[in-house]
Structure 1
């Protein structure tokens, strides 16, 4: 019941304008090597700050004044859709020293950087990075094509000291997701019809049991549903303004 009330309190903030006001909400996560600060920009867009390294996930100009945000040490692009690959936002926080990690399809638009395929694992700027397949199993366009076909999009597991953070990208509850191990924090999308229903999110969370689950990129989905579905699971559901 306490978890459900927490969700209801946070939902009061969800009526804010589409372009969020800065500064943005933040959570601080303790690691064995100092604090990891998570900044919730909105939609599928996040910023992580750890030991002087600033990591941008899918920067999106519609959500923020990127001239006022810190420059990026690392930028991760999950896939090429315009709300995830936004060149003006990317170029605003990119410097000559910024490393951009992306999919092959993103590399057709973004010059430089590192292309990671599904399943690859690298260490970049001291951060272990694992690319997890991100794709649909069920939801399709009117043409019958999946919104996100297999092999094109990435989720990423980023390891900051002793904390493993999974940013799923646009995906459903795939076998690869459900087989993940030792995930401390997971960001799972819930924007219909493109990604997961609350039932799919709950199914995945029960399978790989992240310690903390942040629904993100959730559109108009009823956030109460996922909290109710997971109220007996060993997963802490945290709701932040990530519409």
Structure 2
């Protein structure tokens, strides 16, 4: 059965199959109505453009499960999200998320600047078909035929040549740009 993938602002995507949906990276520049009937949320890392903290605390309190690396789970708990709605994920984990098989890959964000700490960042490989790397160049496991790569397009850490090399290394059938709000009127403060 085919997966339906839709963008909901910046790095936020919704992945659906058979009427069931998961959401990846609902951040502050996302259309958060995408969470209304989602079954689970996956977060790649703690930056606000990938994590709308207050909205996710409210949704987790209402029972929406959130899966994320440790620093994200800690931030959600510190902000009042109930521990029973949260689960820490790390590279090598496999999840059933809204009836979809999700493999958790990678561990770190791309280096933004040598003087800044490198945050935790996981990538999500859904059904071995859709790869959401967050802010990383995490490759899929060897031999994985990625159908759709969600490729960041604009960021302070992004270097165009590295992004092109990443696309070539992954070798997806299709690429959809994400992480583009900084290139919009919103990102330039013109809204």
TM range (shorter): 0.7 to 0.9
Displacement of 1:178 in angstroms is 8.3
1:211 is matched with which residue?
173
Q: Does 1:63 align with 2:19?
A: no
Q: Distance in 1 between matches of 2:11 and 2:69?
A: 16
2:18 is matched with which residue?
51
What is the TM-score normalised by the length of structure 2?
Answer: 0.77
Equivalent residues of 1:56, 1:76 under 8 A apart: yes
What is the TM-score normalised by the length of structure 1?
Answer: 0.62
1:145 is matched with which residue?
116
Displacement of 1:130 in angstroms is 1.0
Equivalent pairs counted in the alignment come to 176
Q: Does 1:157 align with 2:125?
A: yes
Q: Distance in 1 between matches of 2:169 and 2:40?
A: 30
Listed one character per residue, the Cα deviations across residues 153-183 of structure 1 (whole Å, up to 9, x for unaligned) are 1110111xxx611001011x35x45857211
- Bigger radius of gyration among the two: 1
Q: Paired residue for 1:82, among 41, 48, 53?
A: 48
Displacement of 1:87 in angstroms is 2.4
The 3 A distance-change label for structure 1 pair 101 and 82 is same
The 3 A distance-change label for structure 1 pair 202 and 130 is same
Displacement of 1:82 in angstroms is 1.6
Q: Paired residue for 1:201, among 152, 156, 163?
A: 163
CA-atom RMSD in angstroms: 2.7
Listed one character per residue, the Cα deviations across residues 115-135 of structure 1 (whole Å, up to 9, x for unaligned) are 111232233343211111153
1:170 is matched with which residue?
135
Higher relative contact order (CA 8 A, sep 6+): 1
Gaps of 5+ in 2: 77-82, 185-191
Runs of 4+ residues deviating >4 angstroms: 91-97, 177-180
1:123 is matched with which residue?
96
Q: Distance in 2 between matches of 1:69 and 1:113?
A: 16
Equivalent residues of 1:178, 1:204 under 8 A apart: no
Q: Distance in 2 between matches of 1:74 and 1:136?
A: 22
2:72 is matched with which residue?
106
Q: Distance in 1 between matches of 2:16 and 2:170?
A: 25
The 3 A distance-change label for structure 1 pair 190 and 134 is farther
Listed one character per residue, the Cα deviations across residues 9-34 of structure 1 (whole Å, up to 9, x for unaligned) are xxxxxxxxxxxxxxxxxxxxxxxx2x
Listed one character per residue, the Cα deviations across residues 194-240 of structure 1 (whole Å, up to 9, x for unaligned) are 2x32211211111120111112103339xxxxxxxxxxxxxxxxxxx
